[in-house]
């Protein structure tokens, strides 16, 4: 039978549609294969208009958040700004402790300071660990106390499987989250703090005479992407939370445990391409994220809070998250903020710290356990078990090795990711050496190509298989 032009066109369209479906199935099959071969992998795509989950893979599996932690640090900073407790031009002092946090960092010396806005931007672009700790101390008195406030806030938002131990995401075996909880936090940041959310689209900013560039390579690469955060430690792999708004469609997507920064970014790009067309164009008119955005701001109390992993909000209308934690712990706070240090509050902090240690021992065995397990986890961040790395130096000082990594990452922006920097130790002739390396390369060719680009910038290097 002779076919008409209309029938030929119809047949062509059906064939094209079948091919597109087959390609989509193949790409999702590849994602499933990656998840099966990589036990750290987890992902989720959530429609930010409706809260509906469009895709998930191990979304409720426990994972290390790495620098995704800073999303909650910023949430609490935005809370404080919203309530007028601090301003964008308020100074953030750097204690000896904060200044000593390992890279990535902005390198402010003890006693120095930056503005709140500069600290916010340094977390978003450079993922600065020293600035995260300094903000934690500004708001929480101590970073440990701030971490308890972070966990309490997580519970109030419905992040029931997340526990924070620090403000930065530096390795801690008990700092855990899930892909689903990180998606919840991403949506909450957009909905609860719309005024400050545009900071997440920052790609670079000036700090003094230095230009600091960001790590999020999807900004500008995919239309509509407006943040949010990257993260990496050896135990977690390469993490990314991404928000995208294209027309009336909005998504928040999470990829955790990527084998490299490029692999993570490509997986995220594929998820966005696949599921953005399936997102709703209509908002329900209600906030997707849980939580009372008008609750009183969390405050920085001079007295440290007794430790509790999972404080559940009590049924007391109008009570702030920190007040709820205090009520559960039956501790009366000193109402002077920690930033106003007096002799009286200093004595109180010392006394409460001793009492808190006793309380912590009874409710948190981790608080009194040997530090050997923590040290062993941290030691794991200094090595790679597989893949290829680029070595840029071998030094006898750990501090010099870390400074070298930070300096080279800044010099080679767009070539290297500071998230992938690490040190590896070895001993020769009784002397300990620290190899300064950047990891996450899946092949020899990828590592050598990157090294070639570095050499053009007069940065000596060589590629090595782990």
Q: Is 354 exposed, middle or buried (0-12, 13-18, 19+ CB in 10 A)?
A: exposed
Distance separating alpha carbons of residues 390 and 420, to the nearest angstrom:
10
Active site residue 70: yes
Q: Which of 58, 67, 243, 320 is catalytic?
A: 67
Alpha-carbon Rg for the chain, nearest whole angstrom, is 24
Question: Does residue 104 have a cis peptide bond before it, meaning omega lies within 30 degrees of 0?
Answer: yes
- ∠ at Cα 188 (186, 191), nearest 5°? 115
Among the options 58, 70, 105, 349, which is catalytic? 70
> Any binding-site annotation on 411?
no
Of 127, 236, 243, 417, which one is the catalytic site residue? 127
Residue written as tokens 């990594």? 405
Answer for the pair 410, 461: CB distance below 8 angstroms, yes or no: no
Active site residue 67: yes
What CA–CA distance (Å, rounded) separates 199 from 88?
A: 12
Dihedral over Cα of 268, 221, 228, 443: its sign: positive
Query: What is the DSSP code (8-state) at residue 299?
Result: -
Residues 356 and 300 sit within 8 Å (Cβ to Cβ):
no
Q: How far is CA 161 from CA 149, 181, 207, 255, 381, in A?
A: 15, 7, 36, 17, 23
262, 248 Cβ separation under 8 angstroms: no
Instruction: Using alpha carbons, select from 186, 243, 24, 275 the residue that is nearest to residue 32.
Output: 24
The residues facing 384 across adjacent strands are: none
127 is catalytic: yes
Contact in structure between 110 and 99 (CB atoms under 8 Å): yes
Binding-site entries: 229
Binding-site entries for substrate: 229
Residues with catalytic annotation? 67, 70, 127
């Amino acid at each position: 039978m002779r076919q008409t032009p209309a029938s030929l066109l119809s047949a062509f369209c059906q064939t094209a549609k079948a091919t597109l479906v087959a390609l989509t199935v193949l790409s999702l099959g590849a994602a499933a294969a990656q998840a099966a071969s990589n036990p750290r992998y987890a992902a989720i795509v959530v429609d930010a208009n409706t809260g509906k989950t469009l895709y998930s893979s191990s979304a409720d599996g426990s994972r290390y958040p790495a620098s995704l932690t800073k999303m909650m640090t910023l949430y609490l900073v935005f809370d404080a700004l919203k309530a007028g407790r601090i301003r964008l031009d308020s100074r953030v002092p750097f204690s000896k402790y904060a200044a000593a946090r390992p890279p990535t960092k902005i390198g402010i010396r003890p006693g120095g300071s930056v503005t709140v806005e500069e600290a916010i931007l340094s977390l978003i672009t450079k993922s600065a660990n020293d600035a995260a700790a300094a903000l934690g101390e500004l708001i929480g008195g101590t970073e440990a106390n701030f971490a308890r406030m972070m966990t309490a806030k997580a519970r109030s938002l419905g992040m029931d499987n997340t526990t924070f131990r620090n403000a930065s995401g530096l390795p801690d075996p008990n700092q855990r989250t899930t892909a689903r909880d990180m998606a919840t936090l991403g949506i909450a940041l957009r909905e609860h703090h719309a005024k400050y959310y545009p900071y997440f689209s920052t790609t670079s900013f000036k700090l003094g005479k230095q230009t600091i560039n960001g790590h999020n390579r999807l900004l500008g690469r995919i239309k509509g992407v407006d943040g949010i955060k990257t993260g990496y430690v050896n135990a977690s792999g390469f993490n990314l939370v991404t928000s995208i708004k294209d027309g009336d469609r909005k998504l928040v997507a999470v990829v955790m445990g990527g084998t490299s920064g490029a692999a993570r970014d490509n997986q995220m790009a594929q998820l966005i391409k696949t599921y953005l067309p399936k997102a709703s164009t209509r908002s329900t008119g209600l906030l997707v994220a849980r939580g009372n955005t008008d609750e009183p701001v969390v405050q920085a109390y001079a007295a440290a809070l007794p430790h509790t992993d999972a404080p559940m909000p009590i049924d007391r209308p109008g009570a702030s998250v920190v007040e709820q934690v205090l009520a559960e712990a039956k501790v009366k706070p000193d109402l002077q903020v920690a930033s106003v240090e007096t002799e009286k509050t200093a004595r109180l902090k010392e006394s409460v710290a001793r009492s808190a240690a006793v309380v912590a021992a009874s409710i948190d065995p981790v608080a009194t356990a040997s530090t050997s397990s923590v040290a062993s986890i941290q030691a794991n961040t200094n090595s790679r078990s597989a893949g290829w790395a680029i070595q840029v130096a071998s030094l006898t000082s750990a501090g010099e090795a870390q400074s070298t990594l930070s300096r080279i990452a800044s010099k080679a922006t767009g070539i290297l990711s500071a998230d992938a920097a690490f040190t590896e130790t070895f001993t020769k002739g009784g002397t300990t050496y620290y190899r300064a390396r950047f990891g996450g390369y899946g092949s020899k060719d990828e590592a050598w190509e990157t090294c070639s680009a570095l050499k053009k910038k007069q940065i000596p290097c060589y590629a090595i298989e782990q």
